[in-house]
Amino acid sequence: MSEFVFCTGRYESGDWDSAPSLPANLIDSIARYTSISVAPSAVIVPLSSPRILGYPLVYLTGHLPFRFSEAERANARKLVERGGMFFIDDHNHDVGGVFHKTALEEITRTFGKPSVLRNDHPLYRSFFTFPDGPPATSHELNGWGDNLVHQNLLAVMNGPRIAVLYSNKDYSSEWNYHPDNKRFSSVDNTRFGVNIVVYALSR
């Protein structure tokens, strides 16, 4: 039985590797809470390589301009059309920021216009329950970035299923720490990451 391999997508235009510890942290959480077969380490795959299609859940983040090359755009479309999913997080957590502006433009161009994901969407109940929608991050609560607590995530749907999940809540900062440090937290803040993975693997 093949195992789930967490994949960070590398795109040419920006700092795709701005949250290097996040993948391992989420892998740790998946192993910690679920029986899903998961690879012990993550991979980084260029979005322009056809190999990206072997990873139906792709995580993308960054602070800098987010623009796909033609090859990246073509692969991204294929991945979504065949049933894959992107999780794109704005590491700037700033709606006026470069990443947010360029990412929304690129998402619209590549996949279609994203819409607000209702906070009662099955994503928020796929494993852990988040009755109020996406959990707020400490960066939002501390007033960094755009000084806003974003109430909703955005999504591009492929039929009834989320094809592209876009967040400007900065989970990339929130989850970017060594998993050993989880022992210092009273509540694991990566639980929503588990929901995203379980959703991608079951819908």
Partner 1 sequence: MTLHAFVQRVQRQLVIATIANGIAIAAGITLLTLAAAAFAKRANPFAVVIAILAGALLLGFLAWKSRALSSRTRVALWVEELVPSLNYALVTAAEARAPVAEIESAVRVETLRPLVRARLLRTTGRSLLLLGVASVVYLISPATSLGRGRVRAVLGQTFPRVVAPIDKVGSLTVRVIPPAYSRQRTIEQKDPGSLTTLSGSRILLRGPGSPEGVIVSVDDTPLKATGSEDEWRVTLTVNKPVSVVRASYLDKSRLIVIEGIPDKPPRVVLTLPLRDTTLRTPQFNGSLRAEAADDFGVTDGYFEYLIVSGSGEAFNGRTITSQPFRFDSRTGRLNAELSFANLKVGAGDVVSVRAIVRDNNTLSGPSIGTSDTRTFRVARADEYDSVSIEAAAPPPVDSSAMSQRMLILMTEALVKKQKKLTRKQFVRESDDIATLEDRIRKRVYDIIYQMDSPEGPGDTEEAESEIQAINNPDLKQAYDALWDAVRSLRIAEPAVALPPMRIALKALDRARLAQRLYLRGAAPRIVINVERVRMTGKEKGSSSVRTRQADEDSLRRVLAAGFENAMAMRAENSQLAIDQLALLRVRALEGAPEFAAAIREAIDLMRSNRDAEPAFARARKAIAGSQTTIPLSAEWGGG
Partner 2 sequence: MPGDASRTVSVSGTADLVRATRDEPGSALHFALGGIPTRTERAWLNALGSAGSEISWSGNLAPLAMASRPVSSPLGGYVISVSAPPDKALLLRDNISAIDTVTAASGFASIPVTVGTGNVRAVTGRDSAYVALRDTVGLRRVLVLGKAGWETKFLVTALEESGWRVDANISVAPSASVNQGGAVIDTATYSGVVALDESAASRAREIADFVRTGGGLVMGVAAARSAAFAALRISPPGPVPEILNTDDSVSHSSAAFATVQLTPEAVPIERRPEGVSVAARRVGFGRVVQIGYTETWRWRMQGGTAGKSEHADWWTQLLSQAVYARRWTPEQPLADAAPYANLIDIAGAAIPPVRSSSPLPAHSGQVMWLLLLFGLLLVEWASRRLRGAR
Where does this chain bind partner 1 (CB under 8 A)?
10, 12-13, 15, 17, 20-21, 24, 27-29, 31-35, 38, 40-41, 43-46, 49, 51, 63-65, 67, 69-70, 91-92, 97-99, 101-102, 109, 122, 125-129, 144, 159-161, 173, 178-179, 187-188, 191, 194, 198, 202-203
CB 188 to partner 2: min, Å: 15
Partners of 164 in the beta sheet? 86, 156
In whole angstroms, the minimum distance from the beta carbon of 194 to partner 2 comes to 9
Q: How far is the CB of 116 from partner 1 (least distance, A)?
A: 20
Give the nearest distance from C-beta 166 to partner 1 in angstroms.
18
Residue 162 phi/psi, 5-degree rounding, is -75, 125
End-to-end CA gap in the chain: 18
Binding partner of 4, given partner 1, partner 2, none, CB within 5-8 angstroms per partner class: partner 2
What are the Cα distances from residue 119, in Å, to 78, 85, 132?
A: 28, 19, 6
DSSP 114-153: -EEEPTTSGGGGSSS--TTSSPPPHHHHTT-TTS-----E
97 binds, among partner 1, partner 2, none (CB under 5 to 8 A by kind): partner 1
Instruction: Select from partner 2, partner 1, none the partner in contact with residue 1, using the beta carbon and a kind-dependent cut-off of 5 to 8 Å.
Output: partner 2
Range list of β-strands (E), 11-160: 43-46, 57-62, 85-90, 115-117, 153-158
What's the closest the beta carbon of residue 100 comes to partner 2, in angstroms? Answer: 29
Q: How far is CA 47 from the centre of its chain?
A: 15
Q: Which residues here bind partner 2, judged by CB under 8 A? A: 1-4, 33-37, 49-51, 53-54, 56, 79, 82-84, 126-127, 198, 200-203
Nearest CA to 203 among 88, 115, 86, 85? 85
